[in-house]
Structure 1
Amino acid sequence: MSRVKLASVQFSPASFEREANMEKAVFWTKKALEEGARIVVLPELFDSGYCVEDKDLELGLDLNNSKSSTLAPLIELSKIYNAYIIANSIEKSKNKLYDTAYILSKKGVLGKYRKIYLYDNEKKRFNKGKKYPVFELKFEEFKVKVGLGICYEIGFSESARFLALQGAQILIYPAAFGVARSYVWDLASRARALESGCFVVAANRCGREFSKVKDSYIEFAGRTKIINPKGEIIQELGEYEGISCVELELDNVKAQRENLTYLKDLNLKLCRKMYKSLKA
């Protein structure tokens, strides 16, 4: 049976405090790796903080400029522990900004996913992504396919299903989900797992930040959770900093999809026809 230990790090990044945030991220990531995790997930905008609207361009990572990248310490940890790290930051590419999740490996940046469905004021901050890539993570005796979504996107069943149809076994959602809509976080994360027959890693942050746009504090929900393909919560954190570390039995994905055949029975031809009939 193929098994992989995965950890989700929940902590409270501070606005604009990149150095302090990186110290925290490295501390918690190293702790997870020392516990045997081979995949570690960090929350959305872990290095800059979420409420940094007026400094997005300044804080954006340009991978073409190695001096600007804060990913280097995490890549080094990937090399030392032979693991994968999912790190979500502001990406700067040709003066355009994206909310981007990077997959880091011992060889560097394996790939990236740019957030497609932007929430609220994010529409003014970032450009939309255009692709749904599925990434293959290679281990000694097996491979695992993962798909990514970011925060608000956990509410879009179409995205999760599309990734699952491409072979994704684990769906990973780095997030900065607020307390005000934590009921959505709780319900949608389990629904995405059940309907797609995937493990879901709902990797939220905790704490709070002051938003100049809203002129108030945003309280983040925490409640990071790892969910099995049946939609059952394997492990969940509360509202404070910590690590959720679970060994995933990957064969359970195939077993659940054979038991509950949502993906197999989905009429893709009809779906295409229905979507084409809708006005854009």
Structure 2
Amino acid sequence: MTDLKLALLQCTSQPGDVLGNLQRLDHAAADAAAAGAHLLVTPEMFLTGYNIGATQAKVLAEATDGPRAQAVAAIARQHQIAIVFGHPEHDAADHIFNTAQCVDAQGHTLGTYRKTHLFGALDRSMFAPGAGDEPLFELHGWKLGLLICYDVEFPENTRRLALQGADLVVVPTANMADFDFVAQHLVPTRAYENQLFVAYANFCGREGDLAYGGLSCVAAPDGAGLVQAGRDTELLLADVTQAGLAAGRALNGHLAQCRMGE
């Protein structure tokens, strides 16, 4: 395991503009790689926009190895950086999911995750819920798990990943300004109670009738906020370290004393 530098892209959403979003991703990946980052995290449904409606979600849905994912893989290879990105995905039965996917610096898919807890009428009109049974994956010796937005507000989700051995939970989100509590208080709590790092990447600005809150952040296993963005576009950088992980796990014994499954 080596220390990781994370880059979180906080930006406005450009709904329906897949080519434009891929260009933005290319620029962000170049900037993140130049800053020494190993992993770039984008907001929920970054490649297509989130507030796109059921018809567009179905039209834009692709498989996890489709042209969109291949384009992201090419960007990852070009800049030698791993990327977490979100998009609508369909399975063989044509169910549509809100999916986050991670590719490594060689463009290989390391892990995918389908959002399990759908928030509000918009989410439920576009997507089927995922099963929440995706395994952890490794990046530079770190064990990573993925959640999406509302998922992190249910403690069972992060705890499930922690009990599997996660060191870092990555959360692409499209959270509105009315729910600042999540970034400011709940994300650090999830990190503390599960003795791991949590990275939370949000949109900012407006997308149709939605006003996003920004405040992307990274929280440490001791509950400390390592970094937090403001309300505007920003490439947020944070170091997650082996020493920080060990110190957080020495601070309390939540996982060792957890009685789930007894």
Same fold, TM-score > 0.5, yes or no: yes
SS of structure 2 residue aligned to 1:267: coil
What is the DSSP-based 3-state SS (H/G/I as helix, E as strand, rest coil) of the residue aligned with 1:244? strand
1:204: Cα distance to partner? 0.7
Q: Does 1:235 align with 2:233?
A: no
- 1:144-175: CA deviations, max 9, x gaps? 10111100111111111110111110011000
Question: What are the residue-to-residue correspondences of 1:31-180 with 2, within 5 Å?
Answer: 31-53=31-53, 54-63=55-64, 66=66, 69-94=67-92, 95-105=94-104, 106-121=106-121, 122-130=123-131, 131-137=133-139, 139=140, 143-180=141-178
Cα drift, residue 107 of structure 1:
4.1
Give matches, 1:192-207, under 5 Å.
192-207=190-205
Does 1:248 pair with 2:247?
Answer: no
| TM-score calculated relative to the size of structure 1 | 0.87
Residues 25-74 of structure 1 deviation map (CA, whole Å, 9 limit, x = unaligned): 2211221111111111011010111111131111112245x4xx223332
Alpha-carbon shift at residue 132 of structure 1 (Å)? 3.8
Supply the distance in 2 between the matched residues of 1:38 and 1:48 (Cα, whole angstroms): 24
User: How far apart in 2 are the matches of 1:14 and 1:77?
Assistant: 19
Deviation at 1:77, TM superposition (A): 2.8
Following the alignment from structure 1 to structure 2, what is the Cα–Cα distance between the partners of residues 12 and 26? 16
State the Cα RMSD in Å.
Answer: 1.6
1:101 & 1:75 partners in 2: Cα distance?
14
User: What residue identity is the alignment partner of 2:200?
Assistant: A
What is the CA–CA distance in structure 2 between the aligned matches of 1:73 and 1:269, rounded to whole Å?
Answer: 42
Distance change in 2, residues 1:16/1:77 (3 Å): closer
> Is the CA contact 2:112–2:134 (under 8 Å) kept in the aligned structure 1?
no
Amino acid at match of 2:130: G
Corresponding residue of 2:26:
26
Runs of 4+ that moved beyond 3 A: none
Structure 2 equivalent of residue 275 of structure 1: none
The TM-score, its normalising length taken from structure 2, stands at 0.93
Please give the alpha-carbon distance, in whole angstroms, between the structure 2 residues aligned to 1:237 and 1:180. Answer: 16
Q: Which runs of 5+ in 1 are unaligned?
A: 211-216, 271-280
CA contact (8 A) 2:198 2:219 kept: yes
| SS of 1:112 mapped into structure 2 | strand
What amino acid is aligned across from residue 97 of structure 2 in structure 1? Answer: Y
Rounded to whole Å, the distance in 1 between the matches of 2:183 and 2:119 is 14
* Paired residues of 1:154 and 1:185 also in contact (CA < 8 A): no
CA offsets 1:3-23 (integer angstroms, 9 cap, x no match): 111111111122212222222
Larger mean Cα displacement after TM superposition, 164-173 or 8-17: 8-17
Asked if the contact 1:169–1:250 (Cα under 8 Å) also holds between the matched residues in 2, the reply is no
